[in-house]
Chains A and B, each alone.
Chain A
Amino acid sequence: MRKTLFKNFVNPPLTIAGPSASPEAIAELAAKVDGTARKKLGRSLSIREVDAGSCNGCELEIHALNNPIYDLERFGFRFVASPRHADVLLVTGPVTANMCEALARAYNATPDPKWVVAAGDCACGTGVFAGSYACAGATGAVAEVVPVDLHIRGCPPTPMALLSGLLALLQASEGKISGALKT
């Protein structure tokens, strides 16, 4: 183990530069920023991931955010184990009829102020399972069950797409987006 640890000290870090905040996400969030959220959330956001029916493809890429290459934590994000500890619900879908109540309960258990991010085409209501009897509402979109602040598309969204969406969220929570709009 010493050999491996020593190599890690002398080798350059594997982490790549982060993307800039997604312009689409900034546009979507601009309308939703409010001052109290900014004051309370500060510089760091805790994320609770809720799989409300996905094929697990989105989970694989959300997992990748934690690897040494994307290293989500350097931006102030961390994944937490309970919605009660979370500022952000990162929801993948389609929301199935069998998961509707669990998602609503996770949402209600998350303290205000909170953000909901719908990740992946299914969560946005445009995936291949839309229209099934087993999905919530007409499309299984997360927005059919709980209010959504930000949509990140892709099947599945790449770690870079997830990262640039979440970075826009961080800026919004810091008030940078509304500040930019005022000037």
Chain B
Amino acid sequence: MHSAASLGEIVARGKAVGNHRPWPRAVLDANAWRDAIARIAETDWTLLGLWGEAAAVHMALHDEAGGEIAILSLECPDGHFPSLASVRPSAIRLERTAADLFGLVPHGSSDSRPWLDHGRWPITHPLGNCIPAGGAARPYPFLAAEGEGLHQIPVGPVHAGIIEPGHFRFHANGETVVRLEERLGYVHKGIESLLVGATVERASQIVGRVSGDSTVAYAFAFARAVEAAAGIEAPARVQYLRALMAELERLANHFGDIGAICNDASFSLIQAHCMVSREMILQASEACFGHRLMMDRIVPGGVACDLDPKGAARLAALAGALGRRYAEFFELYDNTASLLDRTESTGILSSALVRKFGAGGFVGRASGRGFDARRHPGYPPYGDLEFDVAVRNDGDVNGRLLVRGAEIQQSLGLITQILDRLPSGPIRGPNPAVSAESEGMAVVEGFRGDILVWLRLREDGRIARCHPRDPSWFQWPLLEVAIEGNIVADFPLCNKSFNCSYSGQDL
């Protein structure tokens, strides 16, 4: 292979897979797969995802500068594949997951511990060659930290607040965190297994519950992936209504997050105001779309309910009111030195790591990585709408809070534009039917970052395989880095500023 091969040239070296849309997928042989890994090492291509099948492994890559996206696949009949971990550490947990779910062993990975499989399932390799298992917990060897005066603090899986379960193992020297290691997988629900053989309608409900706070974005991504596989585009009004719901979801979550971050710095006044703003959005969502979180409102081929003029007027008024509320509490935030003292220079994350892991959302954008899936690769209707992508370089808790603040303002602007330009027309397009096995992929910007959904439809239209990839996969590992050298008491603050999804990554 040419030493500086482009992503397109690597794809051309493999066997192209027909009926894969909108980006190409190629099946490589083992040598070409190894060459591709060597080439990735030289590039800044982002790993968008890595997932398994019974006897194959796939990776999605994004060359942001060249504007190319492609999926590379390797058949692994012997149950192993050359690992990507040494060139893209963001692949480590995804590869461990492929090993747990499919029994596919990544050769050359630095970490062979199980990830989602805690030894408690009645079977092993549930999606591969599954065999009955004992269902008894296995001990988990945490990484060591050695030195004088170090002690361990185990936290979780059940935490003190109303949050999801996961285990954090701190090694601390007095107050200072020397090492944090996460152990996740506690809320693994077997989602990818449930999706196999499901109808598209049922699968849409399941994918919409991969991470409840991003239900709109997941349903959006799933619908777009199904429509890509079927080779159809949803009608214009549908595109706008989907974006409207997605921006409402972003707003509700950003308000909630900003309030929660301030609350973790013991400034509950802002939290009270943010919670009221969030509640205003949820009540408006229920009035306009019939569900507070807008679950199951986006469906493949369309949206489940239309917006009437009364609803549009309510949302326009809401956008105005939220803008005023935001300005008020932002002034309060900016003028409270004791609060800024907690958020500034706490939990700093470097730009280099964010790029290496392809971390999206406010985690990436607060550390100088301006990726936003609404812009690149982009999807309708955002090409017709004006918005800025907020990027900062401070990389601390304050930076992640302020990126959310800037995104609140952008989303309010987007909602106003969407309501002004809402096209008329049907809210359901043609049913996304297929006549042969077809594959589709979509990337959608949720509030937390880019969500990827890849799927293969069977000839009868049911799901053969579907993999939803949460943005948290590439953010969780960086939390371990951001907390290093900070004090244990600042962990809740750092954790909240990341607000990664447990359910989204545990699947």
User: Provided the pairs A1-B332, A55-B209 are in contact, do residues A96 and B276 lie with their beta carbons within 8 angstroms?
Assistant: no
Contacts of B206 in A (CB 8 A): 128-129
Contacts of A155 in B (CB 8 A): 209, 295
* Mask of A65-99 contacts with B, CB within 8 angstroms, 1/0: 01111000000000101110000000000101111
Give CA–CA (A60, B121) in the complex, Å: 28
A-B pairs with beta carbons under 8 A, tally: 149
Give CA–CA (A99, B187) in the complex, Å: 7
Give CA–CA (A55, B206) in the complex, Å: 10
The reply on B185 being an interface residue by CB < 8 A is yes
The reply on A102 being an interface residue by CB < 8 A is yes
User: Provided the pairs A99-B186, A132-B193 are in contact, do residues A57 and B279 lie with their beta carbons within 8 angstroms?
Assistant: no
Q: Which residue of B lies closest to A90 (CB)?
A: B162
* Mask of B202-215 contacts with A, CB within 8 angstroms, 1/0: 10011001111101
Give CA–CA (A105, B161) in the complex, Å: 17
B160 touches A128 (CB 8 A): no
B332 touches A53 (CB 8 A): no
The reply on B272 being an interface residue by CB < 8 A is yes
Give CA–CA (A68, B215) in the complex, Å: 25
Residues 160 to 199 of chain B near chain A (Cβ within 8 Å): 160-165, 185-191, 193-194
Give min CB distance, A62 to chain B, whole Å: 5
Interface size on B, as a range, is 35 or more
* Mask of A33-74 contacts with B, CB within 8 angstroms, 1/0: 000000000000000011111111111111110111100000
User: Provided the pairs A99-B157, A102-B165, A128-B205 are in contact, do residues A53 and B189 lie with their beta carbons within 8 angstroms?
Assistant: yes
B137 touches A94 (CB 8 A): no
A132 touches B194 (CB 8 A): yes
Contacts of A98 in B (CB 8 A): 118, 120, 185-188
Contacts of B211 in A (CB 8 A): 55-56
Give CA–CA (A83, B185) in the complex, Å: 22
B279 touches A60 (CB 8 A): no
Contact partner of B276 (CB less than 8 A), chosen from A57, A68, A100, A156, is: A68
Give min CB distance, B245 to chain A, whole Å: 15
Q: Which residue of A lies closest to B189 (CB)?
A: A129
B275 touches A64 (CB 8 A): yes
B164 touches A59 (CB 8 A): yes
Q: Which residue of B lies closest to A132 (CB)?
A: B190
A56 touches B158 (CB 8 A): no
Contacts of A100 in B (CB 8 A): 120
User: Provided the pairs A67-B272, A129-B189 are in contact, do residues A97 and B293 lie with their beta carbons within 8 angstroms?
Assistant: no
Give min CB distance, B166 to chain A, whole Å: 10
Contacts of B126 in A (CB 8 A): 133-134
Give CA–CA (A69, B276) in the complex, Å: 7
Contacts of B121 in A (CB 8 A): 97, 133-134
Contacts of B188 in A (CB 8 A): 96-98, 134
User: Provided the pairs A57-B295, A58-B212, A68-B275 are in contact, do residues A4 and B328 lie with their beta carbons within 8 angstroms?
Assistant: yes
Give CA–CA (A14, B123) in the complex, Å: 51
Give CA–CA (A58, B213) in the complex, Å: 9
User: Provided the pairs A102-B157, A128-B205 are in contact, do residues A69 and B328 lie with their beta carbons within 8 angstroms?
Assistant: no
Contacts of A50 in B (CB 8 A): 158
B162 touches A62 (CB 8 A): yes
Contacts of B202 in A (CB 8 A): 128
Contacts of B165 in A (CB 8 A): 51-53, 99, 102
* Mask of A132-158 contacts with B, CB within 8 angstroms, 1/0: 111100001000000000000001101
B162 touches A49 (CB 8 A): yes
Contacts of B332 in A (CB 8 A): 1, 4
Give CA–CA (A4, B210) in the complex, Å: 38
Give CA–CA (A81, B118) in the complex, Å: 26
Q: Which residue of A lies closest to B274 (CB)?
A: A67
Give min CB distance, A41 to chain B, whole Å: 21
The reply on B3 being an interface residue by CB < 8 A is no
With A4-B328, A53-B165 already in contact, 15 other A-B pairs whose C-beta atoms are closer than 8 Å:
A4-B332, A5-B269, A55-B211, A56-B164, A64-B275, A64-B279, A81-B160, A81-B161, A96-B187, A97-B188, A101-B120, A129-B194, A131-B194, A132-B189, A134-B193
> What are 25 A-B contacts defined by CB distance under 8 Å?
A51-B164, A54-B164, A56-B211, A56-B213, A56-B502, A56-B503, A57-B213, A59-B163, A60-B213, A60-B256, A63-B256, A63-B275, A64-B279, A67-B276, A69-B276, A98-B186, A99-B157, A99-B186, A101-B137, A106-B158, A128-B194, A129-B194, A129-B206, A132-B193, A155-B209
A positions within 8 Å CB-CB of B: 1, 4-5, 14, 49-64, 66-69, 79, 81-83, 94, 96-102, 106, 127-129, 131-135, 140, 155-156, 158
